[in-house]
Amino acid sequence: MKRQESPQKPNNVLKVVRKKIVIQAIIAVQTVIITVALVFGMSAAWYTNVVETSGLQFEAAAWGFTGEVSVGEEPIQMSPGQSGIIGLNVVNTGEEMVDVAVYASKEQMTELPMRQRLFFYVDAVDTRNGETVERVYINSKEGYTYSILSHDRLVLTEQRSNDVQLKWQWVYDMLGYYFLGSVTETTDAENQKVLVTDVQDYLRPVEYDLDSAVFEEDVLSQANGMATMDFLADLSEKDGYAKPITPAEGMPGYYQVDVDENGYGVWVYLCNWNEIQQATAYDSQLGKDAADALVAGTDRQRFLTRLTLVGQKVAGEQRVPADETELSALINGGGTVRLEQNFELTQMLTVNSGEKTVVDLNGYTITGPATGTLMTLTGDSDVILMNGKIQSQDKSKDIISVSNSSLTISDVEIAGGNEGIDISDQNGSVDSCIRLFRSTFDTEGSAVYVRGNGTRTEAKTQVIIEDCTLKSNYIGVATNGTTSYWGVDIQIRQSQLSGQYAAVYQPQGNGTVQVTDSTLTGYTGVVIKGGELHVLDSTITGTGAAQNPQYNKSGFTDTGDGIYLEGGYNTEMVVTVAGNSTVNSEHNQAVRVYEEGTHFATVVITGGKFSSDVTEFLPLGYTYDAGTGAIIVPTTQEETGNEE
């Protein structure tokens, strides 16, 4: 087999480390200004595929969609090793729920090296062909589907998202990739065998630790501490393809994944050492060219990518359950279930099929059993509850329990029970996603209680609360500070939360709470013992009698403050307050940090009104007006609540 010979790479890890440090320095200086433009065009109509432009208004009878789609107008600036967000906004003004699948095509990108290193994905755990994948790559072959309720919208931006964000990635070291195409053997003019590769699309990267990798005769022999085939076998178990990765006889570097008798299908290619060096040199030269163009004032190179949205009205028969047994069976069967009567359960509804099910309550009520939880979701299930009421009879039990699954609640009244929704991801490798829209909660325990899965996955357990009213006789939204429960992203927008003790309690590291255009009220408004809290254009009020703070091994002191940070867990805390926010305490301090002898808290206030002096938390040049409680912004600064 003819191939280009390259110098043998010495098996010396130190040389690899030195090489990588040098190249990283070059890239850091020279490629941060590369501009990559996403180009959005439109085909004939939404009847097939549509690639949209910003602000496009349309109607599409073919899949029952009436609405608006827009994307970020600015080109994306990127450099090797970076990743970022693609802004997307889809508004469904129709009467039916729709599914929108997103695909990415690099076909019109004429520069082959860029097609090999630029990829699109969502950080979502999914089950494909019986395998659990922790990241779903988006390409021309495989997409990711978002469901949008009627009169609702999908918002994916850097500042906010009500579903998993759409991301891009430029791999730093081009080590290998999955591709769709064909690999065949032929002979050249000298009657020597050569490989002919016809690539239609590069699907996803192959990544491993290059510093510890071993190459023999220019070919990868060990990756991540494993022999190459063991590494590929491990990769194959979680890549979402049904067939294992197997070597292609007589084709060095090529491995079959799902290939037909003609050599067409999904392949894996592992780059040799020489190709990896060439790729790094390409990245460096690309950065140098971009830097030179910037200095010379000439146009910088742009790489074009097409984003395609494929939409359809959620199809399927609306099945109507006649009794409790049938209701339980239908919910586990996927599709759409529509109620035409109230249901009073005698036992818990258990959903563990992994299917996606829409439950249209149709104005009716499901009442839980006399004792026990009303509904539990496990096994990567995906349930949408809409248009009705969920009523629990047992005030000592959770109303809905969710583990490693997705739950969307829209236009639903939820009452009774202890925790409204209890989310416990700690024993699984799937991050739950809970979305609450235009719904009300009235519970004894926390309206939402959430535990992440620590470091089991890179993504976080997500809770989105939008245009809701949550009332609790305990705490509105609570997380847990145990390390294995970390990893939670909570977004609260246009909502009202009230708890007898606190509206929000966040004690965990690697957890984030974002509060926008909302009103939060509690004995102590918001309590932070770890992680981050970001408040914008919102009102937070502590109503309780003043108490002196103290460290607690579990829980917190009811200080009556507006925002109270307690440093007893020795975990980093970051709080920001901005925009037209108001933070009040009726009997104590607006914002208090309690950490004797430790320094884990950072509080930055750049706007709003406060019931007590917050000067210690203001950046240089900002001042607190004791008469009005307002923050006075320096004239050279502009405080804004506009986030989109």
pLDDT tens per residue, range 259-270: 998 889 999 999
Nearest to 511 by CA among 481, 470, 468: 481
Domain boundary among 220, 241, 272: 272
CB atoms within 10 A of CB 340: 10
Nearest to 247 by CA among 233, 234, 237: 233
pTM of structure: 0.78
Cross-strand partners of 360: 338, 386
Nearest to 124 by CA among 145, 141, 103: 145
Q: Do residues 394 and 372 make contact, with C-beta atoms less than 8 angstroms apart?
A: yes
Does 23 reside within a domain? no
The answer to whether residues 453 and 600 belong to one domain is yes
Whose structure tokens read 């309780």?
544
The answer to whether residues 494 and 614 belong to one domain is yes
Q: For residues 242 and 522, which has the higher predicted lDDT (pLDDT)?
A: 522
Whose structure tokens read 């043998």?
8
Lowest mean pLDDT among 268-277, 306-315, 448-457: 306-315
Distance spanning both ends of the chain, measured CA to CA: 56
- Paired sense of beta strands 126-128 and 118-122, if any: unpaired
Q: Do residues 167 and 86 make contact, with C-beta atoms less than 8 angstroms apart?
A: yes
Mean pLDDT of 347-359: 88
The answer to whether residues 540 and 586 belong to one domain is yes
Whose structure tokens read 């499901």?
366
Q: Do residues 230 and 213 make contact, with C-beta atoms less than 8 angstroms apart?
A: no
The residues, ordered by sequence, that sit 6+ positions from 90 with a Cβ below 8 Å of its Cβ are 67, 68, 69, 100, 146, 148, 153, 154, 309
The answer to whether residues 476 and 575 belong to one domain is yes
173, two tokens:
């070291």
Mean pLDDT of 386-413: 95
Mean pLDDT of 296-306: 71
Would you state the pLDDT for residue 75?
57
In single-letter form, the type of residue at position 342 comes to N
Cross-strand partners of 610: 583
Cross-strand partners of 390: 366, 414
Name the range with the highest mean pLDDT among 30-44, 171-185, 532-546: 532-546
User: What is the span of the domain harbouring residue 225?
Assistant: 174-272
Q: What is the 3-state secondary structure (H, E, C) of 216-284?
A: ECCEEEEECCEEHHHHHHHHHCCCCCCCCCEECCCCCCEEEEEECCCCEEEEEEECCHHHHHHHHHHHH
Element at 330 (helix H, strand E): helix 324-331
The residues, ordered by sequence, that sit 6+ positions from 310 with a Cβ below 8 Å of its Cβ are 48, 49, 50, 100, 101, 102, 103, 143
**How distant is the alpha carbon of residue 263 from its chain centre?**
36
Is a pLDDT exceeding 50 seen at residue 46?
A: no
Spell out the alpha helix ranges (H) of 348-426: none
Distance CA 252, CA 195 (A): 10
Would you state the pLDDT for residue 314?
64
Mean pLDDT of 179-206: 87
The answer to whether residues 472 and 612 belong to one domain is yes
The answer to whether residues 47 and 79 belong to one domain is yes
Would you state the pLDDT for residue 403?
94
On average, the pLDDT of the chain sits at 83
Nearest to 170 by CA among 266, 32, 18: 32
Would you state the pLDDT for residue 301?
66
437, two tokens:
């829209």
Question: What distances in angstroms separate CA 460 from CA 164, 174, 254, 497, 510, one per listed residue?
Answer: 10, 27, 35, 22, 9
Would you state the pLDDT for residue 35?
29
The string of pLDDT tens digits covering residues 73-124 is: 555 666 677 788 877 777 777 777 878 888 887 777 777 888 898 899 998 8
379, two tokens:
């096994």
The answer to whether residues 203 and 153 belong to one domain is no
The answer to whether residues 531 and 560 belong to one domain is yes
Does 383 reside within a domain? yes
Domain boundary among 338, 362, 396: 396
The answer to whether residues 300 and 327 belong to one domain is no
The string of pLDDT tens digits covering residues 550-564 is: 998 889 999 999 999
**How distant is the alpha carbon of residue 278 from its chain centre?**
33
CB atoms within 10 A of CB 640: 13
In single-letter form, the type of residue at position 490 comes to I
Would you state the pLDDT for residue 226?
95
The residues, ordered by sequence, that sit 6+ positions from 355 with a Cβ below 8 Å of its Cβ are 332, 333, 334, 335, 381, 382
Burial status of residue 245 (CB atoms within 10 A of its CB: 0-12, 13-18, 19 or more): buried
Residue 524, CA atoms < 13 Å, CB-side half-sphere = 24
> How would residue 421 be classed by pLDDT, with cut points 50, 70 and 90?
very high
Mean pLDDT of 164-181: 90
Would you state the pLDDT for residue 459?
82
The string of pLDDT tens digits covering residues 599-625 is: 899 999 999 999 999 999 999 999 999
Q: Do residues 430 and 458 make contact, with C-beta atoms less than 8 angstroms apart?
A: no
Distance CA 461, CA 300 (A): 40
CATH of the domain at 460: 2.160.20
DSSP assignment of 5-36 equals --PPPP--HHHHHHHHHHHHHHHHHHSTT-EE
Does 11 reside within a domain? no
Q: For residues 154 and 613, which has the higher predicted lDDT (pLDDT)?
A: 613
Would you state the pLDDT for residue 390?
97
> How would residue 186 be classed by pLDDT, with cut points 50, 70 and 90?
confident
Would you state the pLDDT for residue 84?
80
The answer to whether residues 585 and 439 belong to one domain is yes
* Backbone Cα Rg of the chain: 27
* Domain count of the fold of the chain: 4
The residues, ordered by sequence, that sit 6+ positions from 569 with a Cβ below 8 Å of its Cβ are 481, 507, 509, 529, 530
490, two tokens:
């909570």
Distance CA 34, CA 310 (A): 30
Kindly report the backbone phi and psi dihedral angles of residue 400, in degrees, each rounded to the nearest multiple of 5, phi listed first.
-130, 130
The residues, ordered by sequence, that sit 6+ positions from 189 with a Cβ below 8 Å of its Cβ are none
Would you state the pLDDT for residue 5?
31
The three-class DSSP label of residue 30 is: helix
Would you state the pLDDT for residue 66?
39
Kindly report the backbone phi and psi dihedral angles of residue 446, in degrees, each rounded to the nearest multiple of 5, phi listed first.
-60, 140
Distance CA 468, CA 498 (A): 11
> How would residue 456 be classed by pLDDT, with cut points 50, 70 and 90?
confident
The answer to whether residues 510 and 526 belong to one domain is yes
Domain boundary among 344, 361, 396: 396
Question: Residues 409, 495, 576, 611: what is their CA dihedral angle, to the nearest 10 degrees?
Answer: -150
Does 596 reside within a domain? yes
Is a pLDDT exceeding 90 seen at residue 315?
A: no
Element at 286 (helix H, strand E): helix 273-296
Does 19 reside within a domain? no
Does 413 reside within a domain? no
Does 219 reside within a domain? yes
Name the range with the highest mean pLDDT among 19-28, 273-282, 323-332: 323-332
267, two tokens:
């392949």
Does 20 reside within a domain? no
The string of pLDDT tens digits covering residues 519-543 is: 999 999 999 999 999 999 999 999 9
The string of pLDDT tens digits covering residues 568-611 is: 898 999 999 999 999 999 999 999 999 987 789 999 999 999 99
The answer to whether residues 38 and 53 belong to one domain is yes
